């Protein structure tokens, strides 16, 4: 049976994860650039080069073995690849090398490292004389020879490798152009608000982009937000699924996304000094977000209380209008009391008192007038 190899790669810098500055590692084996640039924090986790066509540079990768046994690590160089959702990934070792993967020449393709130790593997990167202007990406991969699972019944072998991104920029007319092309908002099954911005990098270099996503009410106030810095590769489109806290009381809300990136054309990836920040903004339409269950109960109770109050008020107004338009004046006689007059007119004394706005002790003065209902016929 033919065996297919599926490699699962742990990448230090991917489109959908915030930028980090740590060594990439999987299963206790990983690595990082051995000669990071002192003035560029991004170079601690990825290899960054400016190369003229035909130029060559020497560098090295430091590989760590944090396991309890000696390991032999296979080291390779491959081109970059994009997943279907725009995330950065690495091509398979068997794929033809047409870009940075072909520019890198490793001093060795294997490194045997004792338990808890490390090893340095030098390499040379050479830009072809016909290299196009802009950014070119690739990966240096590290795979533990012991980290391969057994073949399953379908003949698929799962292998695991770590990889470090390699960024080589050929100087010339550098274009930096980012656009927010789509923005959706919805309530997901986990009672969170899910905001999905889609961003297109139309330039020829990747952009470390500060992304602020907010949830805004009808009144314009921000009720939730999330921030992160993400690399967006040249000529690629990225979509994020960003969860925000669900507003407890619910209501109408919109999503607002702001992206900010370094717009200076000749600034190297990771450098921020003397840069011009370019902002892009986009809002979604308003959507109704259902309140949390407890909030819905509280809101329903409040609504019922309001409706009950309105009903009572309308009854009082209607009764007041009826009294005004249909009851007639009665002059208080000697010996009359509120209860006596009410009994004579066949209605509760409290109702008579309320209709005439009488207050305790409800004394009736001879000669004064009050309103009483008309006599019933028959």
**pLDDT by residue (tens digit) across 332-354?**
999 999 999 989 988 899 988 88
Quick: pLDDT tens for 94-127: 899 999 999 999 999 999 999 999 999 999 999 9
Alpha-carbon distance 231 to 76, whole Å?
A: 23
The SS3 of residue 346 is: coil
Quick: pLDDT tens for 38-57: 888 889 999 999 999 999 99
According to the model, what pLDDT value does residue 15 have? 36
Chain mean pLDDT for the chain:
84
First to last CA, the chain: 106
DSSP-assigned beta bridge partners for residue 200: 179, 237
| pLDDT of 91 over the 80 cut | yes
Quick: pLDDT tens for 216-252: 999 999 999 999 988 888 988 988 889 998 888 888 9
Give the chain's domains with CATH numbers.
4-170 (2.60.40.10), 178-289 (2.60.40.10), 293-372 (3.10.350.10)
Cα–chain center distance at 321: 57
Quick: pLDDT tens for 350-371: 988 888 889 898 889 989 999 8
Residue 16: pLDDT band (50, 70, 90) is: very low
The model's pTM is 0.68
| pLDDT of 147 over the 70 cut | no
Cα–chain center distance at 279: 18
Alpha-carbon distance 11 to 139, whole Å?
A: 9
Quick: pLDDT tens for 161-206: 889 999 999 999 999 999 999 999 988 766 789 999 999 999 999 9
According to the model, what pLDDT value does residue 168 have? 95
Contacts of 218 (CB under 8 A, 6+ apart): 251, 252, 253, 286
Q: Do 37 and 189 form a contact (C-beta atoms < 8 A)?
A: no
According to the model, what pLDDT value does residue 12 have? 39
Q: pLDDT exceeding 90 applies to what percent of the chain? A: 47
Residue 310: pLDDT band (50, 70, 90) is: confident
Q: Do 195 and 257 form a contact (C-beta atoms < 8 A)?
A: yes
Buried b (16+ CB within 10 A) or exposed e, 226-265: eeeebbbbbebbbbbebebebbeebbebbbbbbbbbbbbe
| pLDDT of 154 over the 60 cut | no
According to the model, what pLDDT value does residue 2 have? 38
Greatest alpha-carbon pair distance for the chain in Å reads 123
């Amino acid at each position: 049976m033919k065996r297919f190899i599926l490699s699962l790669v742990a990448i230090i810098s991917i489109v959908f994860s915030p930028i980090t500055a740590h060594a990439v590692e999987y299963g206790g084996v990983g690595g990082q650039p051995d000669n990071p640039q002192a003035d560029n924090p991004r170079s601690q986790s990825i290899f960054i080069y400016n190369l003229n066509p035909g130029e060559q540079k020497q560098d090295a990768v430091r590989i760590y073995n944090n396991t309890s046994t000696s390991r032999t690590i296979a080291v390779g160089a491959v081109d970059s690849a994009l997943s279907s959702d725009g995330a950065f990934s690495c091509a398979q070792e068997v794929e033809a090398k047409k870009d940075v993967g072909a520019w890198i020449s490793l001093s060795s393709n294997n490194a045997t490292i004792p338990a808890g130790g490390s090893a340095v593997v030098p390499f040379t990167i050479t830009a072809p004389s016909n290299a196009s202007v802009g950014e070119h990406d690739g990966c240096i991969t590290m795979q533990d020879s012991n980290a391969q699972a057994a073949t399953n019944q379908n003949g698929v072998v799962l292998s695991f490798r770590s990889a470090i991104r390699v960024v080589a920029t050929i100087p010339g007319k550098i274009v930096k152009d980012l656009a927010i092309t789509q923005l959706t908002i919805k309530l997901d099954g986990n009672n969170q608000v899910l905001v999905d911005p889609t961003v297109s990098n139309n330039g020829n270099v990747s952009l470390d982009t500060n992304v602020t996503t907010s949830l805004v009410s009808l009144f314009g106030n921000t009720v939730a937000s999330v921030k992160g810095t993400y690399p967006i590769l040249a000529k690629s489109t990225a979509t994020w699924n960003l969860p925000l806290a669900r507003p407890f009381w619910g209501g109408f809300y919109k999503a607002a996304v702001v992206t900010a990136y370094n717009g200076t054309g000749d600034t190297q990836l990771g450098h921020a000094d003397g840069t011009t920040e370019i902002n892009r903004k986009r809002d979604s339409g308003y959507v109704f977000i259902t309140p949390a269950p407890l909030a819905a109960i509280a809101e329903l109770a409040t609504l019922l209380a309001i409706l009950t109050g309105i009903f009572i008020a309308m009854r009082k107004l209607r009764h007041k209008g009826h009294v005004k338009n249909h009851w007639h004046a009665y002059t208080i006689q000697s010996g009359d009391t509120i209860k006596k007059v009410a009994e004579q007119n066949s209605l509760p004394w409290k109702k008579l008192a309320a209709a005439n706005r009488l207050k305790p002790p409800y004394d009736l003065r001879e000669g004064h007038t009050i309103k009483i209902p008309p006599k019933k016929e028959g």
